Amino acid sequence: MSIVPDHVITYSPALTVVPTYECFNRCTYCNFRVDPGQDTWLSRSQLAQQLAKAKSQGLVEILVLSGEVHPNSPRRAAWLRHIAEICNLALQQGLLPHTNVGPLSEAEMAQLQTVNVSMGLMLEQMTPSLLQTVHRHAPSKVPERRLAQLNQAGRLRIPFTTGLLLGIGESANDRIETLQAIARSHDHWGHIQEVILQPHQPGSRQQQARAGFSAEALADFVKTAKQHLPAEITVQIPPNLMADHQYLLTAIANGARDLGGLGPKDEVNPDYLHPTPENLRPILLEAGWQLRPRLPIYPQYDNWLSPQLRQTVQAWRRRLVADRPRERLGQKGC
């Protein structure tokens, strides 16, 4: 089947690196965290093994995803240095770090900006009532605090990824208000690359049982997201949380264009394995879509980077071009 040039779905070949699972938040749906003081932080030797494996598997992105150390904790500075060191070591291996570790001060974000090609934070929902339910014991989930991170990233000129968590007690109108908040931030700063639409799915470690957000509802919600987000923002969906390929293809037909990081493990949803690109490619191809790898920074943001980071990114772009010499490249392909 011939592929229309703009019929491209992207994904990031990614490894998630976790500095620590400890987190002072206790969201009732979480399958990731452990209590503060109950986790040994990732060691340098463990990191070296993970980075070597990532290189051997041809992965590109190092997604640094951490539990949160309290802003007033005496260990906060050490935690931030630990994250920065992980990013720096990844860069030394020629890999591209993308960090998502919760709300940061402007100074903290600026420090990590020097060793990341992009960063992210899920806005989740602009819904204060959730602070009385699923976020009752999650101080950093105050909606205004998380929205401030989006604007802070814009001021610092950091290419940014954010998203919605769907099915945690919000209303349909709440979801639209969250999309609109993201759109306003991007309209002002022009910095948001992607918006993730992540459906809550029940896991084996969550504190409180909650039904999942269905794949059918997610596929339909893509249309709503496209209506309220600027056209240049890519809508991302997680294929491991959509077991039925029918709804994955429907979500793509409705405007989703990215499948996120596909790697060895989904740390946030460990009960749901990522499909491999090799498994996804024929499913998409049959429907007329080409699956292509991308970098964790979109091409239009390359000039926001320092010269050193930009050099590493552009080397990866040349490599991706060389890996598919017979294809005409669209801008989002790498």
Look at residue 1 and tell me whether its pLDDT is greater than 50: no
Look at residue 209 and tell me whether its pLDDT is greater than 90: no
At 293, list the tokens: 């790898």
Average model confidence (pLDDT) for the chain?
Answer: 94
Task: Dump pLDDT digits (tens) for 104-133.
Answer: 999 999 999 999 999 999 999 999 999 999
Task: Dump pLDDT digits (tens) for 285-334.
Answer: 999 999 999 999 999 999 999 999 999 999 999 999 888 754 443 344 56
pLDDT of res. 325:
53
Parallel, antiparallel or unpaired: strands 61-65 and 234-236:
unpaired
Closest CA to 25 of 148, 241, 207, 165: 207
Architecture of the domain made up of 8-324: Alpha-Beta Barrel (3.20)
Closest CA to 258 of 222, 228, 227: 222
For 214-274, give the DSSP string.
PHHHHHHHHHHHHHHS-TTSEEE--GGG---HHHHHHHHHTT--EEEEESS--SSSTTSPP
Three-class DSSP category at 27: coil
**Distance (Å, rounded) from C-alpha 330 to C-alpha 294?**
11
Q: Are 206 and 168 in contact (CB under 8 A)?
A: no
Q: Which helix (H) or strand (E) holds 65?
A: strand 61-65
Query: So where are the chain's domains?
Result: 8-324
**Distance (Å, rounded) from C-alpha 158 to C-alpha 185?**
13
